[in-house]
Amino acid sequence: MVRYGALIAAVTFILDQVSKWTILNLINLDERGVIEITPFFNLRMAWNPGVSFGMFASDGPWGRYALIAFTTVIVLFLVIWMVRATNLLVTVAIGLLIGGAVGNIVDRIVHGAVVDFLDFHAFGIHFWTFNIADTAISVGVMLLIYDSFFGAEEAKKPA
C-alpha cells in the first residue's frame, strides 16, 4: 500500500511544481497578472502567505517558518498514517495530502509564499485562487471523509 501512496504523493508533487514553474517562468503570470481563459476561469497570480484560502497569513518571516515547521510535522504524521493504512482509498487520500502539502512547503521555502493561479468565477463572484497542491489536498480530505462514512461498510463486503 505504501508504494501506491508514495507514487500518488510524488506525482502530485511533480504536477504541482511543474505547473507553478510553468506559470512563473514560461507564462510569466507574475508580470501579466490575469489571463482570461473562459468566461468562468482565469489564470490569476496570487501569492498566498497563509495556509488554505489565505487563512493564518503572516507578513513576517517567523510566521512563514512556523507554517513550514507545522506543515512538516503534519506531513510526518501523514507518512506514519500512510505506512499503517490497510485501505487503498485511505492510502491514495493520504498520498494526495502529502504531495500537496510538500508542494506548498517547497513554495514557502523557495518563494516565501505559495504560488496560486487557478481562478474560477461566476456571476461576478471570484472564488479562492488556488493551485494543484490545494486541489490535491481538498480531494484527499474529501476521500477521507467519504471513507469515514462508507469505508467500514466497503471493507465488510466480500471481495
Out of 16, 116, 119, 147, the active site residue is 116
Is 147 one of the annotated active-site residues of the chain? no
Is 116 one of the annotated active-site residues of the chain? yes
CB 37 within 8 A of CB 121: no
Asked if residue 94 is part of any domain, the answer here is yes
Domain assignment of residue 30, given as a range: 2-151
Asked if residue 159 is part of any domain, the answer here is no
CB 48 within 8 A of CB 116: yes
Asked if residue 52 is part of any domain, the answer here is yes
Q: What is the pLDDT of residues 87-139, one digit of tens each?
A: 999 999 999 999 999 999 999 999 999 999 999 999 888 888 999 999 999 99
Q: For cell 501512496, what's the residue?
A: 5
Asked if residue 67 is part of any domain, the answer here is yes
Residue 132: what pLDDT? 97
Residue 152: what pLDDT? 64
How many domains in the chain?
1
Place 146 in a pLDDT band, splitting at 50, 70 and 90: very high
Asked if residue 157 is part of any domain, the answer here is no
Out of 16, 107, 119, 134, the active site residue is 134
Burial 43-82 (b: 16+ CB within 10 A, else e): bbbbebbebbeeeeeeeeeeebeebbeebeeebeebbebb
Residue 95: what pLDDT? 98
Asked if residue 158 is part of any domain, the answer here is no
The dihedral sign for the CA sequence 145, 121, 15, 103: negative
Place 58 in a pLDDT band, splitting at 50, 70 and 90: low
Asked if residue 46 is part of any domain, the answer here is yes
